[in-house]
Amino acid sequence: MRTLEHPSRGEMRLDTVLAALADPVRRTVACKLNDAFGDHACATFELPVSKSTATYHFRTLREAGVIRQEYEGTKIMNTLRKDDLDARFPGLLDAVFAAQKIEGAGA
Amino acid sequence: MRTLEHPSRGEMRLDTVLAALADPVRRTVACKLNDAFGDHACATFELPVSKSTATYHFRTLREAGVIRQEYEGTKIMNTLRKDDLDARFPGLLDAVFAAQKIEGAGA
DNA sequence: ACTGTACTACGAGGAATTTCGTACTACCAA
DNA sequence: TTGGTAGTACGAAATTCCTCGTAGTACAGT
């Protein structure tokens, strides 16, 4: 059974979380996880980058503490660590997601 | 009279704002502007970098729309564009500042 | 056992970021 | 006008980030 390293709540660093969310590809992933219920395999995201680049972005998000990744067979299921992030940095995630929607909609 | 370029509210990009705030030196500047009243010249910040590096960070913040810079004699007065940012990306700035205080205080 | 699927690890290239020193400009004050 | 102060512009170096292809691992299904 393969497992992946995740930072604990206390280990999450604001630097790292903001840098993770500053990249458009990674923010797209986080936003999709926030909008949709349940878990989602990496392959279901249709990102505009190659598979190995996608791996890199998923790892960056995981190491920042933004997402949780768990093996399920050959797939990796991704979930947003909303509870943990809300506990650590209250309101941050919601503000970023709201901002993303604003920018996506208007000018 | 020298003037400096600033993005309008609508021109502010989430990518750029988050990237600007992801850097610890720049976030320190923004936080200090938020805590203290009034304007503040660049030289008053005591940043752990050289003068030319400081210039670079101030410019990055200005071009992202986080701060406003206006000449006043030979000095440049810096102000946080809180109104503009709150209008464009509501709650984002407050969440980041709150997070900064949490990280500074606790673990 | 074989095939396919999902993803990773590694190495490498190119782009962007951060840093600095030096030289410079603009302004104020004496 | 001479000097000091505040900050910029430029070029260069170091580092980090993003991207990819190739090769490989782990698991599921037949």
C-beta atoms of A95 and B99 within 8 A: no
Phi/psi of residue B64, nearest 5 degrees: -80, -20
Pairing of strands A40-41, A67-72: unpaired
Instruction: Output the six-digit token pair for A52.
Output: 């190995």
Considering only CB atoms, which chain A residues are within 8 Å of B23?
A: 15
Q: Which residues contact A20 (CB under 8 A, 6 or more apart)?
A: A26, A60, A61, A64, A66
- What pLDDT score does B60 carry? 98
B75 beta carbon < 7 A from strand D? yes
Nearest to B33 by CA among B18, B19, B21, B50: B21
pLDDT grade, residue A12 (50/70/90)?
Answer: very high
**Spatial contact of B26 and A14, defined as CB atoms under 8 Å apart:** no
Q: B-chain residues within 8 Å CB-CB of A21? A: 18
Backbone phi and psi for residue B71, each to the nearest 5 degrees, phi listed first: -65, 140
CA distance A75 to A106: 36
pLDDT digits (tens, 9 = 90+) for A14-71: 999 999 999 999 999 999 999 988 779 999 999 999 999 999 999 999 999 999 999 9
Does residue A98 register a pLDDT over 70?
yes
User: So what's the pLDDT on residue B41?
Assistant: 94
pLDDT at A105: 87
Q: Does B107 have pLDDT greater than 80?
A: no
Q: Give the pLDDT mean for B11-32.
A: 98
The answer to whether A98 contacts chain B (CB < 8 Å) is yes
For strand D, the positions having any atom within 7 A of a protein Cβ are 4-11, 17-23, 26-28
| % of chain B at pLDDT higher than 90 | 90
The domains found in chain B, sorted by start residue, are 11-88 (1.10.10.10)
Mean pLDDT of A80-105: 97
pLDDT in tens, B26-78: 999 999 999 988 779 999 999 999 999 999 999 999 999 999 999 999 999 99
Q: Which tokens go with A93? A: 């995630």
Dihedral angle of Cα A80, A83, A87, A93, to the nearest 10 degrees: 40
Beta partners for residue A79, in sequence order = A68
Nearest to A19 among B14, B22, B96 (CB): B22
pLDDT bin (cut points 50, 70, 90) of residue A101 is very high
Given a cut of 80, is residue A1 above it in pLDDT?
Answer: no
Which residues have a Cβ under 8 Å from the Cβ of A51 and sit 6 or more positions away? none
- For an interface test with A, give the residue of B11, B13, B92, B102 to mutate (most A CBs within 10 A): B92
Nucleic strand D contacts from chain A, 7-46, CB < 7 Å: 19, 22-23, 25
d(CA B33, CA B27): 10
- Which of A103, A31, A99 is CA-nearest to residue A66? A31
> CB–CB of A70/A83 below 8 Å?
no
